[in-house]
Amino acid sequence: MRIIMTALCAGLLAGCLPKGEANIVVVDGEGVVLATPEIFTLDATLQANESTREAALADISSSLERITSELPRLDGLQRIEIDPSSATVEPVRDFTCAELAEYRQRDACPITGYVAKVELKATGAPAGVAGNALSLLTQFGAIEVELKGYSVVDYDAAKSEAASLAMKNARAKAERLAAAAGSKLGAPTRIQYGEGFDRSEEPPPAAFAPSEDEIVVTGSRITPAVNLVLTPQPFEVREQVTAAFALNGAGS
């Protein structure tokens, strides 16, 4: 009975196919490129605590000026872009008063000082000096520094190479299926990014296009008080496609 039902289903399926529609084979393909890190990105926080707003601003301005003038002199650094993206200045209120006061009444507590903060991003090359750049930022007063990751100068080229490999992988799979069906593989009829392939999981590449903020390093060099040697590892750049190919020949 099971054999009869299978044959019946196959017959019904064949009858439902539109006449004259070309047979196709649909496959997934994936391409992976190992990219050698060329660029590093650091996020840093500068902070100054002073008794007056003006003193806090002057302190943090001095720290920022030192970083923008001295960090580019790091030994081994070839190019750097420093972006102080945001800044805040806030009052510091009497701790005991703020602890005892209700939330809406804390603004009435006496001001005992001011805290100024600057968030900055440093993008530089080569990737191998990222550790010493991090060390130098802390030496120059950054209270927090995070290595956000590595990328390559031409990320689009790496993605294009991965996409090309993904298409080759898809075609190889389709050719095997076509041969198994006794058909010849035709041209692709549809290509799209792979089903269920979550591109949002990929870290965004570090942009390092030439700009007015980019500094090409020249002149005398400096080293941090504490050397921090990090070893960037090659990272994967992936693309995945879903492709449909026409089937030609007797088996189709």
| Rounded Cα gap, residues 208 and 109, in angstroms | 46
pLDDT tens digit sequence for 144-179: 999 999 999 999 999 999 999 999 999 999 999 999
* Higher per-residue pLDDT: 194 or 41: 41
Neighbouring C-beta atoms of residue 142, cutoff 10 Å: 21
| Rounded Cα gap, residues 137 and 145, in angstroms | 7
pLDDT at 36: 94
Neighbouring C-beta atoms of residue 5, cutoff 10 Å: 9
Residues carrying CATH 3.30.70.2970, the chain:
39-151
pLDDT at 202: 52
Nearest Cα residue to 88 out of 118, 65, 45, 53: 118
Q: Are 38 and 153 in contact (CB under 8 A)?
A: yes
Rounded mean pLDDT, 67-95: 94
Class of domain 39-151: alpha beta
Neighbouring C-beta atoms of residue 93, cutoff 10 Å: 17
Q: CA angle 140-126-144, nearest 5°? A: 30
Rounded mean pLDDT, 74-90: 94
pLDDT tens digit sequence for 97-121: 988 888 778 888 999 999 999 999 9
Q: Could you tell me the strand order of the sheet in which 214-216 lies? A: 142-151, 39-50, 111-125, 79-93, 214-216
pLDDT band of 133, cuts 50, 70, 90:
very high
Residue 252 burial class via C-beta count within 10 angstroms: exposed 0-12, middle 13-18, buried 19 and up: middle
Mean pLDDT of all residues belonging to the chain: 85
pLDDT at 75: 96
pLDDT at 102: 80
pLDDT band of 208, cuts 50, 70, 90:
low
Residues carrying CATH 3.30.110.170, the chain:
20-35+154-211+236-252
Rounded mean pLDDT, 32-57: 96
Class of domain 20-35+154-211+236-252: alpha beta
- Range 92-99, long-range pairs (CB < 8 A, 24+ positions): 92/49
pLDDT band of 5, cuts 50, 70, 90:
very low
* Higher per-residue pLDDT: 250 or 99: 99
pLDDT at 82: 95
pLDDT at 85: 85
pLDDT band of 209, cuts 50, 70, 90:
low
**Lookup: tokens for 54:** 């003006």
Is the pLDDT score of 3 beyond 90?
A: no
- Of 7-11, 19-23, 73-77, 232-236, the range with the lowest mean pLDDT is 7-11
